[in-house]
Structures are given as C-alpha cells and as structure tokens.
A and B are shown apart, each in its own frame.
Chain A
Amino acid sequence: MSNALMLQDLFFFLPETCLLVTGVILLLLDPFLPKEKKSFLGGISVMGILASALATLCLWKENAPLFGHLYRLDPYALFFKLIFLGTTLFTFLVSFRYLSLTRLPQGEYFALILFATTGMMVMAAGMDLLSIYLGLEVMAISSYALVGFLKKERASLEGALKYFLLGAFNSGIILYGIALLYGTWGTTHLSEILNGLSRGEATSKMFLVGVAMLIAGFAFKIAAFPFHMWAPDVYEGSPPPVAGFISVGSKAASFAALLRLFLFAFKPLFAEWQGFFVFLAMMTMTVGNLLAISQVDLKRMLAYSSIAHAGYLLIGLAVGTPFGISGMLFYFVAYALMNLGAFAMIVLLAQENFRAESIEDFKGLAKAHPVWALCFLIFLLSLAGIPPSAGFIGKFYLFAGAVQSGLYGLALVAVLNSVVALSYYFRIVRNMYMMEERSSLAPSRSWTLRLSLILLAFFTLLAGLYPVPLLETVRQAGALFL
C-alpha cells in the first residue's frame, strides 16, 4: 500500500490529466484573449477532449491498480471514460452555437465542464469510497455553477440554488454513509470490504445504515424515486447543452459508482438488496413516465423522461446477471446518444428571442426542415425504444435480462411503461409531422451543431442496426462483475 504516488501510475492517469491541464490552460488563457478571439477557447477544449480520448484508447487493454489500489484502470472504467468523453465532446460542439447566442463567458464554461468530466472519470474508476466521493464532489460542484450560468434568468438561478442545497445535503448523507462503512470495516477500500463480506463476517446494523445512506445518496444523483424532484427544475433552469450534459454524464457516472459498489464490493449480499432495487426500478420508471405525460415544456418533459430512463437502467442493477449488466452498459451509450440529441434540438431552433423549449415550438418542423425533423424523430424513436434504434436494443437486453432472472413482474411493468412513454414522445412527432407551421422556424447554421446532430442520429441508428461491436465491447467492460 505504500508509495502510492508513482510516476508510472501518472501515465495511466493520462486521460484525466489531459482534461485537467486543458481546463487550467483555458482558465489562464481566458483573461488575455481579446473578445473576438474567445472562440479559440472552444478549439482548445475540443483538442483536450480528443487528446484524452486518444490516451484512453491507448490504454484500452490495460487492467491495473493505480495509486496503491485506490484507483483502478480496467475495461469497465475505460468504457465509462469513453462515454463521458463522447458526452463532453458533443456537449461542446452543441455549446458553441449556444454560447454565441447567449454571450456567456466561455473560458469558465468549458473549464467547468472539463473538470466535471474529470470528476466523472474518477467516480467510474475509483476503487475506494474516498476516491469515489471526491470525484463525485468535483463533478457536483462544477454542475452547480454550470446550471446557474444564465445569471439573468430567475429559473436558472432557482435551479442552481435548488441543485446546490439538495446536492450539499446529499453529499453529507453519502459522506455519513461512508463514515459508517469505515466504522464497520475499518477500511474504505472496496476490495477489502468485499473480502470482509465474503469471509461471512457478521454485518452489523451500522453497516446496513451506512449502505442505506449510500443508496439514498446515489439515488438522488441518478434522480431515482423518491429523490427525483430536483431534476425537472434543474433541467428547466440550466442552459440546454448543460442539461444534456448533466442528464447523461452525471447519471452515468453515478450509475458507474453504484454498480461498482453493489455488484462488486457488496456482491455477497446481493440477494438481500435485489428486492429493493426491483422496487426502486419499478417506482422510478412509473413515476417518471406518468409525470412526463402532462408536460408542455420540452426540457421538463425530457427531465421526467430521464427519470424514467433511470428506472430502466436500474433494471440492470436489480438483475445483476452478465446479461442484464451488458444491457445496462449498452443502454448508457444509447441513452447518451439520444438524450444529447434531444437537447441539441432545442439549441438548433433557439434564437435570440425564441427559446424553442416548448413542444408547441416544433409544430410543422417536418414540412419546413425535413432533415432536422427526421433527426429528432430518430432520437424520439430511440427514447421510446422502437426498432431500429439503439434504444430498442438496449431495452430489449434489459427486459430480457429481467425475464431471464425470473423477475417477470419487473419486466411487465417495464414494458407497460414503454407503452405509456410512447404517448408523450409521439406528441412531439405529431407536432412535427401533422401540424401546420405556426411560426417561421430557422434552424441554426452553426456547422458544429449540425454535424453533431447528424452524427448523433447516425450513431443512434447504427447502434440499433448493427449492435454487434458495441455489444462485444460492453461484454468485456462488464466482465468485472462475473
């Protein structure tokens, strides 16, 4: 355990280092750049992301403990790192247009997103409760500020304040849980907790309370029932690219840590948690879908839909079999593609005095701009889980995993929920294809935004039509839990 900080470990930490260094460069450069050259910062951030992705790909087959076992480089962590990097890349490509539209300060914006991504990576790769907690906090604090970036708007400040206050309490609860676990086992290290549990050492009440607190804390982060109330207000208030980033990145990172905790460290007790996660999954998807039906604000609707998707993803945790876990990891990719795409659609149509945040604003889009309507249609089909889209394959694997494990009730509730979800996704489709154009819609001409929408739609279709390579990757990443 000694000599935790070795030079060679830093090499394996390169993906995170790239992001951190880029973030610091942005902050240092920002004050010295003249106003008209600020777009330069966006280019640097994209290069940082690409460098980090390159480093991640170079380390692809590695499987090694880092920093005295407090951190781990394994296919699972690397898979999640790529999801985060992809999410951040598309968030940036979409943000360029949004930032020039709203004239927000660019340096801090990009730097905070990069730091948040680093936090997410640490959460996915942390092998110690301490590392996971610090990663979570880095991610959370950056997100609070990002939500409140539109300082002239009350909704943004309200969202940021709610997110901050609830998030601060939530951090306290997680920390308390960690302290109780430390009190039980005398260690915060996941492998040592696993060893203790597999030796069959009696689990004290203190341990159970600590685990309950961890569940509550992470349930808040993934916006699971009954800790989901913050999501609609936060997504509604934040800039659309940030809402997409938080809904995908923060959720995936928290799930990554949750999986490592419950399917790796607490695995011996899995049978005892299973019933609880089944209940949590059912409630989360049902509540999310039912509340989404009556929404007229697109961002609020997507917030409730993301709550429902957290419910679907929880199936993977409730099932706990390789099949279910593969489905869950696959669904992360699908969810990232389609959700980022949906939020990017808002940015595409937004103008100086037209926010395109109501589902009414998409009326008649198909007639005027068929390409963009088609993109949105693909994202919505995928969100609803209709073939041939990535969302369908992911849902198929998740539900099949539930059936395979004999959780028929859960599978039934999930299928029924998918039917309910159709109703609100297809309200947008109806608005786009069957309604007359209400006002003149003018999609943005920003090429990065257009490119990212086309790419997101393309990948959503590709993963649905030819999922084999992705399924293979997902299987390798999930091998940790066998």
Chain B
Amino acid sequence: MTLLPLLVVFGLGTLSAILTISRRNPLHSAFYLILTLLSVATSFLFLKADFLAMVQVILYAGAIMVLIIFVLLLTAVEEVKKIPLFHRQTPLALLISGGLIAEIVYTLLQRRILAVEGPPVHSMEALGKMLFKEYGFPFELASILLLVSLVATVVIAKKEGPS
C-alpha cells in the first residue's frame, strides 16, 4: 500500500478537526466534525478494522451527529455567533492537549502498543452472519422496538386535534 492515500486521509482529518473548532457558525463546525469522523473511519479501514469503521460511521457520523444538529437547530445559532471563540482558558487547554500529544508520541516511540497477531479477521462478515442467522430473532425484534418507539414519539409529540 502506498503511503499517499493514508496521508491524504490523515491530512483531511486533521484539517477538518481544526476547522471544527475554529468556525464561528456551530452548524459549520458540526459538518466539519462529520468530515473528521469520516476520516477517522477511513483510517480504521486502512488498519483493517472494518467493524470499528462501520461503528464509527453509524454511531458517530450517523446517530450522534444527527442529535447534535437537531440540538443546534433548536438553539439560536445567530446568537451563538456573537460569543467570542477564544477565551482565557486557552493556555490551560494548550497545556493539556500538549501533554496528551506528548504522551501519545512517547508511547509510540516506546513501541508499547500491543500488536494484533494472526491473520486479519473479517469481522464484518462474521458479524453479519451472526446477526442474520443465530441472532436473527433479536434482530427482527429490534425492528419492532424501533416501530414502537416511532409510534410512541408521535403520540407524545402530536398536537391535540380539535375535539
């Protein structure tokens, strides 16, 4: 594998991460955060961790980001724009994140990370077979659960009609 695609993905991830914290409009930040999460998911793919990549996309880029954007839509975005981006805690934040980076670099240099032995596991395939064969019944039950939550939400959120 050439290094170039990997570098592109990492670069994109870092760039969008910086954009996430430096945008004035929180909605833009949210969209850049999605880009960051997708780049992380892609780098998981490069590491042959396909399950993690899928979870990253479904949970973070999917569910959690939808939640964040919903909350943003309910808040006054225009008001938030007037709040200064940087404040007095910047030095403290720099100190903490600098420490974290130092720790990561140190660990990497020590080569203390546990290497995964053995042939690559096609975890997605195994997971899919489990879900649709052995655990087919709970999987279908989950669909009922989703339907019920949907109906319950509509009941709670619906306005009372003229009676």
Query: Is B145 in the interface zone, CB < 8 Å from A?
Result: yes
What is the bound-complex CA distance between A359 and B96, given in angstroms? 63
- The 8 Å CB contact of B138, one of A1, A105, A128, is A128
Q: Is the CB of B151 within 8 A of A152?
A: no
Considering the complex, give the chain A residue whose CB is closest to the CB of B144. A138
Query: Is A151 in the interface zone, CB < 8 Å from B?
Result: yes
Query: Is B155 in the interface zone, CB < 8 Å from A?
Result: yes
Chain B residues with Cβ under 8 A from A131's Cβ? 137-138, 141
Considering only residues 1-35 of chain A, those with a C-beta below 8 Å from chain B are: 1-5, 20, 24, 27
Chain A residues with Cβ under 8 A from B134's Cβ? 1-2, 4, 68, 70
Looking at chain B's contact residues, the main secondary structure is helix
Q: With A115-B148, A115-B151 known to touch, is A134 a contact of B138 (CB < 8 Å)? A: yes
Chain A residues with Cβ under 8 A from B161's Cβ? 105
Query: Is A141 in the interface zone, CB < 8 Å from B?
Result: yes
Range class of the A interface residue count: 35 or more
What is the bound-complex CA distance between A71 and B158, given in angstroms? 36
What is the bound-complex CA distance between A135 and B145, given in angstroms? 8
Q: Is the CB of A144 within 8 A of B152?
A: yes
Looking at chain A's contact residues, the main secondary structure is helix
B53 to chain A, nearest CB (A): 23
Query: Is B163 in the interface zone, CB < 8 Å from A?
Result: yes
Chain B residues with Cβ under 8 A from A207's Cβ? none
Chain A residues with Cβ under 8 A from B154's Cβ? 108
Query: Is B22 in the interface zone, CB < 8 Å from A?
Result: no
- Fill in one digit per residue for B129-162: 1 if any A CB lies within 8 Å of its CB, else 0: 0001111111011101101110111111010110
What is the bound-complex CA distance between A151 and B155, given in angstroms? 10
Query: Is A238 in the interface zone, CB < 8 Å from B?
Result: no
Q: Which residues of A contact B (CB under 8 A)?
A: 1-5, 20, 24, 27, 66-68, 70-71, 103, 105, 108, 111-112, 115, 118-119, 122, 128, 130-131, 134-135, 137-138, 141-142, 144-145, 148-149, 151-152, 160
Give 5 pairs: A residue, B residue, CB < 8 Å, sorted on A: A68-B134, A68-B136, A141-B148, A145-B152, A145-B155
Q: Which residues of B contact A (CB under 8 A)?
A: 132-138, 140-142, 144-145, 147-149, 151-156, 158, 160-161, 163
